[in-house]
Structure 1
Amino acid sequence: MTDQATTQQTGSGTDAVPAQPGPRYEDTRSVIPGAGPAAPRPGERATLRLRGTGTDTDTESDEPARYAPEWLQLREPADAFARAHDLLDPLRIRLANLPRRADGFIIHDIGCGTGSMGRWLAPRLDGAQHWVLHDRDPYLLHFAAVASPRSAADGSRVSVETRRGDVARLTADALAGASLVTASALLDVLTREDVDALAAACAGAGCPALLTLSVAGRVELTAPHPLDQEITEAFNAHQKRGGLLGPDAATAAAEAFSEHGATVRINPSPWRLGPEQAGLTAQWLRGWVGAAVEERPELAEPAGRYLAERLEACAAGDLRVVVHHSDLLALCRPAGGAA
């Protein structure tokens, strides 16, 4: 998983796998878009692209969605449980020290998807909030706006607006007046240049950033299997295709924000999946193994057997999985003031 970098499903993941005798890898077209691998189009890196200029006349608006709402909804409860709650207190302290605005806090959610970050965070913060939701997919933006929370922890009003755009074009000017930047499962599908630009934009605007659920490259499954490590290594290599950060994302982001003078904290935020999350576990397994096979086609036959065994254990309620992630809080120096 990256959750989102594992993600971009078009059904092409098995096309390069040669026919082999005996069991072979399961067709990844059974994976919900967003839970399995897909090759980028020629000339395009396989990453979250927030294309557009803020209008609905984007010439690429017909492009198939890379992240199905079904996948984002399926993972939302696990995301909410996993996020590092210990980072909320230092964030609340920073927000409480900001100058009060008549319209409350301005929060930019980058790559918002269906808006799960806002649904999790807005009710945990006091004070009026205005969320600016950024994504490339107009359908997801509509879903996020409709399903957004309406009140903060203290009952204050929460409002939203939506914008389409490219995270690589995010600048300090675009974040002028921002109180906070958030993102979920985003850093690992960015390049180092993208992360440097994000850190520079936040530092230039003097706003903190809460960036959650970056894939950490470690997985624990019960019971252990001889192929676990090999599939993990192949998956991690797949995550770093095209210069993407993959499991190095949290460390790279910490370095980038620190270079801009921010105080950075990284806390673990693992998914802990058991029988109650069998649907999510099954989709994650297919995507995880699918990415490994796409990276190393010679794994197709043993991976097919492995996946069948793991899915059988999952259906029987005998499989438990810990998928490690990292949450990062960067407290940038306020614009025109001391940290």
Structure 2
Amino acid sequence: MSGERVTLTDAPRYAPTWLELREPADAEARSRDLLVPLRRHLAETLATRGSLLIRDLGCGTGSMQRWLAPQLDGPQRWILQDHDADLLAFASANAAEAAADASRVTVMTRHADLTELSPGDLRSTSLITASALLDLLSVDEIDRLAATCVEAGCPALITLSVTGAVDFSPADPLDEELAAGFADHLRHHVEGRELLGPDAGGAAADAFTRRGWVVEQRSSVWRLGAAHADLTAEWLRGWVPAAAALRGHDAEDYLTRRLDALATGDLRVTIHHTDLLALPHGATTMLGAAE
């Protein structure tokens, strides 16, 4: 990437237990519509190269690889990249090993920050993927990521970018204000970097579109409740304090009400994200075939 290089040494460290909790909800939420044009594009790559090379940025425990690899045909080599060596070890040990057509899937790891990625790294890469990552980036970092992909001609599938929108059932008078507070919390400064938070998905779409690429976006939604009780409770315990902090609220009573409703099976939470597929200029998305 051109310009000043920023390392994400201040990026949060996520415990494998949290990432494991969210993996089923992530898998349910990701848009399958976008896989239709993606498979079509990658089929052309397979015909030319005989295999796929996929790089997963900020891979965490490897949930994206486990979700996507079995849905794509052909031999696949994955590079799992993260700044957390412990998560890389977990991801490598628990990776999917077979493609949709039973072709072999192999993985290697790279311990590195996202901002160390260069167009040269992507010259032979068929696809980059990322999940729940963009909100941790600044507008300049997102723009450089798009520029790197475009210069290398490497498509991108970026899923579960948080939008900040949250819906609760039953409703509570504090819901709307806390949702706004959480969106503000995501737009924070870290050592001179202004993170985009809920604006990141739109910024990424704009960055690719300005460079002439075909961009499609789809909603990806967590639908939480009794079926995901452990995840919902853990999410509430993180979301409520973060959402309340900038609004000067003591939300302990609110959190108690919400956890009590969850325990009785009455609480439903809808958490909105967006997925993005960016393909080189001239690509045919064929999304109509998926709808």
Same fold (TM over 0.5): yes
* Map of 2:288 onto structure 1: none
1:249 aligns with 2:200: yes
Does the alignment pair 1:279 with 2:230? yes
Residue of structure 2 in register with 1:262 after alignment: 213
For residues 36-62 of structure 1, give each alpha carbon's deviation from its aligned partner in whole angstroms, at most 9, with x where no partner exists.
Answer: xxxxxxxxx9xx93x5xxxxxxxxxxx
The structure richer in helix per residue is: 2
Aligned equivalent of 1:310, options 236, 239, 258: 258
Deviation at 1:64, TM superposition (A): 11
Given residue 320 of structure 1, which amino acid in structure 2 is its aligned partner?
A: R
Query: Could you tell me how far apart the structure 1 residues matched to 2:20 and 2:246 are?
Result: 27
Q: Which residue type is aligned with residue 274 of structure 2?
A: S
Which residue type is aligned with residue 95 of structure 1?
Answer: L
1:97 Cα deviation after fit: 1.6
SS of the residue corresponding to residue 321 of structure 1 reads strand
Q: Does 1:218 align with 2:169?
A: no
Displacement of 1:293 after TM fit? 2.6
Instruction: Measure how far apart 1:332 and its partner are.
Output: 2.3
2:249 pairs with 1:299: yes
- Within the candidate set 123, 139, 151, 1:192 is matched to 139
Q: Is the 8 A contact 2:125 2:154 kept in 1?
A: yes
CA offset at residue 100 of structure 1?
2.8
Q: Which residue of 2 aligns with 1:66?
A: 13
Distance 2:93 2:124 in 1: 24
Report 1:1-339 matches (<5 A). Answer: 49=8, 66-98=13-45, 99-102=47-50, 104-242=51-189, 243-296=194-247, 298-300=248-250, 303-333=251-281, 339=283
- The one-letter amino acid of 1:314's match is L
CA distance in 1, matches of 2:271, 2:12: 25
Structure 2 segments unaligned to the other structure (5+ residues): 1-5, 284-291
Kept in 2, the 8 Å contact 1:65–1:137? The answer is no
What TM-score does the superposition give when structure 2 sets the normalisation length?
0.91
Q: Aligned-pair RMSD on alpha carbons?
A: 1.6
- Contact 2:11 2:136 (8 Å CA) reproduced: no
| Structure 2 counterpart SS, 1:84 | coil
Q: Distance in 2 between matches of 1:222 and 1:322?
A: 9
Displacement of 1:292 after TM fit? 1.5
> Could you tell me whether the CA contact under 8 Å between 2:123 and 2:154 is conserved in 1?
no
Instruction: Letter of the 1:154 partner, please give it.
Output: D
TM-score by length of 1: 0.78
**Equivalent residues of 1:131, 1:160 under 8 A apart:** yes
Question: Counting strand residues as a fraction of each chain, which structure ranks higher?
Answer: 2
Using the alignment, how far apart are the partners of 1:277 and 1:327 within structure 2? 22
Distance 2:121 2:43 in 1: 23
Question: How many percent identity over aligned positions?
Answer: 53
Q: Secondary structure at the match of 2:48?
A: coil
